Structure 1
Amino acid sequence: MSPVKPFLVTGGTGTTGSRVRAHLTATGHRTRTATRTPTSTPGTDGEMVRFDWTDPTTHAPALDGVGGVYLVPPVGDPDPAASMLPFLHRARGAGIERVVLLGSSAIAETDGGLGEVYRSIRALFPQWAVLRPSWFMQNFTGGHVHARSIRERGEIVTATGDGRVAFVDADDIAAVAARALTDEHPHNTAHLITGPEALSYADIAATLTRVTGRPIRHRSISRTTMRDRLTTDGLPEPFADLLAAMDEAIATGAEDRTSGAVERVTGRAPRSFAEFVGSADLA
C-alpha cells in the first residue's frame, strides 16, 4: 500500500467519516472524500468525488488511484450487502488491498445484511479491519432523534428498559479507523469499540440533567411502539423495525459490555460520557 496514494473515505462528510479524514490529514495522509454532493476542489482537506451507493457509475472514479478505503454502509438500508458487495469486488479488482469497514456492535459476522459484508471483506482483502462500535455519544447532539426529543420534550424515549450501553465517542471510533488504515501491519480483525462504562438511558438522562440544569428523563416504551414512533419520524419501516429490535436487544443485556480496543489501538483511554457532555454543544 503506497503512502502517496489517497485514502478513499466513504461517508466522508458524516459523523465518523469527517473525523477519519481529520485524523488522516493530521498524520500527513491524503484523503479523497466520497459524497453524493461534492462541494470543493482539491485543497488542504483533500479532494472530493461524487459517490452514491445506488449509482454504480460513481464507483470506479472514486476508487481510481486510491491506496485504501474506509467504508460506511448506506444509511437506512436494512440490506446493505446488495450495493456494497459489487463495490467490494470492484475495489479488489482495482488492486486495493486494505479496507476498513464501519459496522456495529449489534451485528455479528454470522448475521445477514451487514454480516455478509463482514464475511466478504475477510474473504476478498488481504488487509482489513471491521469496526464494531457501540452506540454513538453523538446521538444525543445535533439533529439526531434523541437530541430533538431532549430539546423539545425533555425526555429520551427508547425500548431499552433498564438495559445498559457502553456509549462511545465517534472521535474514538475514527482514531481506531485511522490506525487500521495506516498502521504498517494490517489489523486483520474485528474491533469491538466501546466507551469506558456501560450506562442505562436513565443514567444518560441523569448526566444530561446535571450538566444542562434541565430536567431530562428516560421513558421506556415497547418495541412495537418504538418502531411506529421511528416510522412516524420518517424512517422506512424495515429500518425502523431493525432499530427497534436493537433497542429490545439492549433491554436483554446484549450491549452491557466494555472493550479495551480504543486504548489498545490508539494508546489512550476512550472518552467517558460525562467528559463528552461537558464539551458538547447540546443546544
Structure 2
Amino acid sequence: MKNILVAGATGKVGRRVVGRLRASGHPVRAASRTNLDLGDPTTWAKALDGVTAAYLLEPDLRPGTDHHARVPAFVDRAVRAGVRRFVLLSAYNVGDDHPLRPAEQALRDSGEDWTILRPDWFAQNFSEGPWLPGVLGGTLALPTGDGATPFIDAGDIAEVAARALTEDRHSGRTYQLTGPRAITFAEAADLIGRAAGRTVRHEDVAPEVLVERWVSAGVPEDVARLLTGLLVDIGDGRAAPVSDGVERALGRPARSFEDYVTEAAASGAWTAPRERAPE
C-alpha cells in the first residue's frame, strides 16, 4: 500500500495533517527529525520508500542556510523515487529573496502535481507556541503596536493540506490562507483573557527588547531578528490582507479567532500547571 509522507509530523500543522489523513483512511508515514532530516540525504531513501504524495516544510529559515540543498534537493530525489504529488507549507508574502522561494520553485519545476500553502500567523501561537508564556504571565510583550492581522487556525491549514494531498482539484494552486478578519494583539489578548478567566493584555515593546529576550532563551540571533521583523511589519501596517483561500479550498469560511479561543480555553490550554486539578 502506498503511503503519504508527512514531514514535520509533530508540529502544529503536521500532527493535524496526520490526524485528518488517518481519520479518512489514508496510510500515512509520519516523519520528524528522528527519521527524516532534510539536511541529511542519508535519511531520505527510507522515508520515501513506497511514497506517492508528500507534505513538506522548510524548518530552517536562517539566512545562512543553503535552502537550495534542502527542499529542492529532496523534491528532486522524491520525484525519482516515485512521488507524484507535493504539498508545501510555505509562508505569506514569499518574494524572490525569501528563504522559502527555492522550495516553492522546486515544486513548480517538479513536473508533478503540487499545491503551495501560504498561511498567515497561526492562532495556535497563543496556545501551543511562542506566545503562550506571555498569555500565562498576563502580558503579551510584542512590537506590533495597533497593527492587525488575520490569524489562521492551524486546523484549517491542516484540512487544506489533507485535501490537497488526496484530491486532484488543488493541483497547481497556491492558497493564501488567513482567518476571516484581522484583529489586533490587544483584541486577541482580551478575547483570550475573557475565555480563559485570566487577565491578559498586550504591551507594545521596542523590537530590540524582543530580540534580546529570544536570544536569551536560546533562539539564534538571526532567527530572532527575522521573526521580530515580521511582527514589526504588522505594527507598520504590512500584515497579510484577509484572503478567501480557505473557502476556495474547502468550500466553507475560515474558522474565526473567537471559535479557536473558545476551543483552546475549553481544552485547558491556558490553565497553568499549578491551577490544574490533580489527575
When the two structures are superposed, what TM-score results if normalisation uses the length of structure 2? 0.90
Given residue 28 of structure 2, which amino acid in structure 1 is its aligned partner? T
* Secondary structure in 2 matching 1:185: helix
**Residue in 1 aligned with 2:37?**
52
**Superimposed CA distance per residue, residues 116-162 of structure 1 (whole angstroms, 9 cap, x where no aligned partner):** 211121112421011000111111113x221112212x011211111
Residues 33 and 256 (structure 1 numbering): CA distance in 2 closer, same or farther, change over 3 Å?
Answer: closer
> Which of 212, 216, 221 in structure 2 is aligned with 1:228?
212
Q: Does 1:23 align with 2:7?
A: no
Given residue 282 of structure 1, which amino acid in structure 2 is its aligned partner? W
* Secondary structure in 1 matching 2:87: strand
> Which of 56, 59, 66 in structure 2 is aligned with 1:74?
59
Separation (CA, whole Å) in 2 of partners of 1:261 and 1:214: 33
Query: Once the 2 structures are TM-superposed, how far is the Cα of residue 234 of structure 1 from its aligned partner?
Result: 1.4
Query: Once the 2 structures are TM-superposed, how far is the Cα of residue 274 of structure 1 from its aligned partner?
Result: 1.1
Separation (CA, whole Å) in 1 of partners of 2:68 and 2:229: 20
User: Which residues in structure 2 correspond to 1:67-216 (within 5 Å)?
Assistant: 67-75=52-60, 77-78=62-63, 79=65, 80-105=67-92, 107-142=93-128, 144-152=129-137, 154-216=138-200
Q: CA RMSD of the aligned region, Å?
A: 1.6
* Secondary structure in 2 matching 1:54: coil
Separation (CA, whole Å) in 2 of partners of 1:81 and 1:166: 30
Separation (CA, whole Å) in 2 of partners of 1:185 and 1:257: 25
Residues 53 and 256 (structure 1 numbering): CA distance in 2 closer, same or farther, change over 3 Å?
Answer: closer
Unaligned runs of 5+ in 2: 272-279
**Residue in 2 aligned with 1:282?**
270
Given residue 3 of structure 2, which amino acid in structure 1 is its aligned partner? P
When the two structures are superposed, what TM-score results if normalisation uses the length of structure 1? 0.88
Contact 1:205–1:217 (8 Å) recurs in 2: yes
> Which of 19, 36, 39 in structure 1 is aligned with 2:33?
36
Q: Percent identity?
A: 39
> Size of the alignment, in residue pairs?
265
Contact 1:99–1:125 (8 Å) recurs in 2: no
* Secondary structure in 1 matching 2:246: helix
Given residue 22 of structure 1, which amino acid in structure 2 is its aligned partner? G
Query: Once the 2 structures are TM-superposed, how far is the Cα of residue 75 of structure 1 from its aligned partner?
Result: 4.6
Given residue 197 of structure 2, which amino acid in structure 1 is its aligned partner? G
Residues 89 and 275 (structure 1 numbering): CA distance in 2 closer, same or farther, change over 3 Å?
Answer: same
Contact 1:99–1:128 (8 Å) recurs in 2: yes
Unaligned runs of 5+ in 1: 38-49
Given residue 103 of structure 1, which amino acid in structure 2 is its aligned partner? S
Query: Once the 2 structures are TM-superposed, how far is the Cα of residue 184 of structure 1 from its aligned partner?
Result: 2.4
